[in-house]
Structure 1
Amino acid sequence: MSSHDQYLESADGTRLVVRRLGAGDPVVLVHGSGGGLHSWAAVAEHLAHDHEVWMPARRGYGPSDVPPGTKSFKDETADLITVIEAARQSSGTPVHLVGASYGATLALHTTSADPRDVRSLAIFEPPLFAAGAEITPLLDRYRSAFERDDAEAMAAALNDVTRVPAEIVAAFAAAAGDRRPDPVEARRSAIGWLHDLEALAEDSTDIARWSAISVPTLLLAGVDTWEPMPTTMRTLATTIRAARHVVWPGQSHFVTMTAPTLVADALRQFFAEISA
């Protein structure tokens, strides 16, 4: 299915690139750390048969702008509101907002700040435990490794942020073999991670703040994702009282890539139920 990219300007003048495809009620898909315009592609292909899908590249991730200075969730919330307003104006209807990982945390921030154009919220495994003062030394480690272009040290710092178990890290390394990532893409991802860590270091681990969210909410998770994510998701499910909580057997934090049909079907079913 064909797509096209368009430019939007956020409140502070930051230029955002958004990929659009499909037709129907609008869905905004927000990517996680290290991602970009491609992150939701496989899920979007399924959804676009009956929805208009909007996929922004978040600030800090090319081809969107990489503004100078440090980044905060306040900046990105303004960005996402710009995207949501554009989707609302284009379609005439409120949007289904969907976020994965860091993008899920951003979706929580945005829905909490301005839910007017948000018809529903679906979030997959936001790393709400990875925030605040304990992230600061990891941010410093990462920034130092970034400045000397030390990919191994950057990866080690990120593993400490995300708490990926050593055996999973080793499995990924073995699967990659001798393949090396494209240097341009790797640097783009590294820059994005740096800015995401800046925002996380300024954020809070307080889950209770999301209790005021009242739009229809779907919480998605994989059984095989490591702690503290399962505990975090259970806490979030009791905090957002009207939320539905789906946990997929045999899936982990990478389900949007490993099982995109499963994700798309769950989203489509959720959208249909709240629209009935």
Structure 2
Amino acid sequence: MNSRDQSVESADGTRLVVRRLGVGDPVILVHGSGGGLHSWATVAEHLADDHEVWLPARRGYGPSDVPAGAKSFADETADLLAVIEAARQSSNRPVHLVGASYGATLALHTALADPRDVRSLAIFEPPLFAAGAEITPLLDRYRAAFERDDAAAMAAALNDVTRVPAEIVAAIAAGAADRVPDPVEARRSAIGWLHDLEALAQDGTDIARWSAIAVPTLLLAGADTWEPMPTTMDTLARTIPAARYVVWPGQSHFVTMTAPTLVADALRQFFVEASAARPGG
């Protein structure tokens, strides 16, 4: 399906590149750490048959701007609200907001800050455990490795943030085999990770704050994702009033890549239900 890219300007002048495809009720898909315009591509193609899908590249991830200085969730919430406003103006309809991983944490922040144009919220495995003071030394380790362009040391620091089990890290490495990553894309991802860690280090781990979210909410998780994600998601499901909680057997934190049809079908069904529950936003 044909897509088109456009720029959206955030409140502080940061230029965000957004890819759009499809026609219908607007859906914004927010990518996680290390991602970009490509992250939700296959899911977006499935949804674009009956939705207008907006795929923003978050600040710090090219081709969007990489502002100087440290980043916070307040910065990114302002960015996402600018994208929501653009989608609302384009369609004259409220948006379905969807986030995965770090993008799910950002979606939570945004829905809490200003839900007026958010028809529904769907989030997949936000790393709410990876925040606050305990992230600061990992951020420092990562920044030092980034400055000397040490890919192995950067990856080791990130593994300590995400707590991916060693056997999964080894399996991913074996699957990559001898493929050499594109150096431009690798550096783009590394820069984005650095800014994401800055925001996480300034954030907190208090899940109770999300109890104030009142829009129709869908929580998604993979049954095979490692701890502490399952415990985190169980706690979040008890915290957000009336949230639906779906756990997919045989899936993990990579489900948007490994089973995009499953993800798209679950989202489409939820959008229908949410629209019926909250007509017109």
- Give the 4+ runs in structure 1 shifted more than 2 A: none
Amino acid in structure 1 at the alignment position of 2:265: D
Q: Distance in 2 between matches of 1:4 and 1:164?
A: 35
Q: Which residue of 2 aligns with 1:134?
A: 134
> What is the CA deviation profile of residues 57-91 of structure 1, one whole-angstrom value per residue up to 9, with x for unaligned ones?
00000000000000000000000000000001100
Q: Distance in 2 between matches of 1:118 and 1:175?
A: 39
| 1:24-43 alignment runs, 5 A limit | 24-43=24-43
Q: Which residue of 2 aligns with 1:47?
A: 47
Q: How much does 1:148 deviate?
A: 0.2
Q: How much does 1:241 deviate?
A: 1.6
Question: CA-atom RMSD, angstroms?
Answer: 0.4
Q: How much does 1:156 deviate?
A: 0.2
| 1:205-244 alignment runs, 5 A limit | 205-244=205-244
Q: How much does 1:197 deviate?
A: 0.1
Q: Which residue of 2 aligns with 1:157?
A: 157
Q: Which residue of 1 aligns with 2:21?
A: 21
Amino acid in structure 2 at the alignment position of 1:58: R
Amino acid in structure 2 at the alignment position of 1:85: E
Amino acid in structure 2 at the alignment position of 1:215: V
1:177 corresponds to 2:177: yes
Q: How much does 1:274 deviate?
A: 1.9
Q: Distance in 2 between matches of 1:217 and 1:42?
A: 22
Q: How much does 1:273 deviate?
A: 1.3
Q: Distance in 1 between matches of 2:65 and 2:94?
A: 26
Amino acid in structure 1 at the alignment position of 2:244: R
Q: Distance in 2 between matches of 1:115 and 1:184?
A: 36
| 1:41-120 alignment runs, 5 A limit | 41-120=41-120
Amino acid in structure 2 at the alignment position of 1:237: A
Q: Distance in 2 between matches of 1:155 and 1:70?
A: 20
Aligned residues of 2:31 and 2:103 also touching (Cα < 8 A): yes
Q: Which residue of 2 aligns with 1:121?
A: 121
Amino acid in structure 2 at the alignment position of 1:25: D
Q: Distance in 1 between matches of 2:89 and 2:173?
A: 45
Q: Distance in 2 between matches of 1:6 and 1:12?
A: 18
Q: How much does 1:126 deviate?
A: 0.1
Q: How much does 1:180 deviate?
A: 1.2
Q: Distance in 1 between matches of 2:179 and 2:56?
A: 28
Amino acid in structure 2 at the alignment position of 1:38: H
Q: Distance in 2 between matches of 1:95 and 1:186?
A: 32
Amino acid in structure 2 at the alignment position of 1:114: D
Q: Which residue of 2 aligns with 1:10?
A: 10
Matched positions, count: 276
SS at match of 2:53: strand
What TM-score, normalized to structure 2?
0.98
Alignment gaps of 5+ in structure 2:
277-281
Aligned residues of 2:119 and 2:275 also touching (Cα < 8 A): no
SS at match of 1:20: strand
Q: Distance in 1 between matches of 2:163 and 2:155?
A: 12
> What is the CA deviation profile of residues 210-264 of structure 1, one whole-angstrom value per residue up to 9, with x for unaligned ones?
0000000000000000000000000000000210000000000000000000000
Q: How much does 1:275 deviate?
A: 2.1
Q: Which residue of 1 aligns with 2:279?
A: none
Q: Distance in 1 between matches of 2:182 and 2:135?
A: 28
